[in-house]
A and B are shown apart, each in its own frame.
Chain A
Amino acid sequence: DIQMTQSPSSVSASVGDRVSITCRASQGINSWLAWYQQQPGKAPKLLIYAGSSLQSGVPSRFSGSGSGTDFTLTISSLQPEDFATYFCQQSNSFPFTFGQGTRLEIK
Chain B
Amino acid sequence: QVQLVESGGGAVQPGRSLRLSCAASGFTFSIYGMHWVRQAPGKGLEWMAVMSSDGSNEYYADSVKGRFTISRDNSKNTLYLQMNSLRAEDTAVYYCAKDDDGSGNSQLGFWGQGTLVTVSS
* Chain A positions near chain B (C-beta within 8 angstroms): 1, 34, 36, 38, 42-46, 49-50, 55, 87, 89, 91, 94-101
Contacts and interface: CB of A to CB of B under 8 A. Distances in A.
Given A43-B95, A44-B95, A34 B108 contact: yes
Interface of B: 35, 37, 44-47, 50, 59-62, 95, 100, 105-114
Contact of B47 (A49, A96, A100): A96
A87 B108 CA distance: 12
Contact of A89 (B60, B62, B107, B113): B107
Contacts of B113: 42-43
Contacts of A98: 44-47
A36 B108 CA distance: 9
B45 to A, nearest CB: 4
Contacts of A96: 35, 47, 50
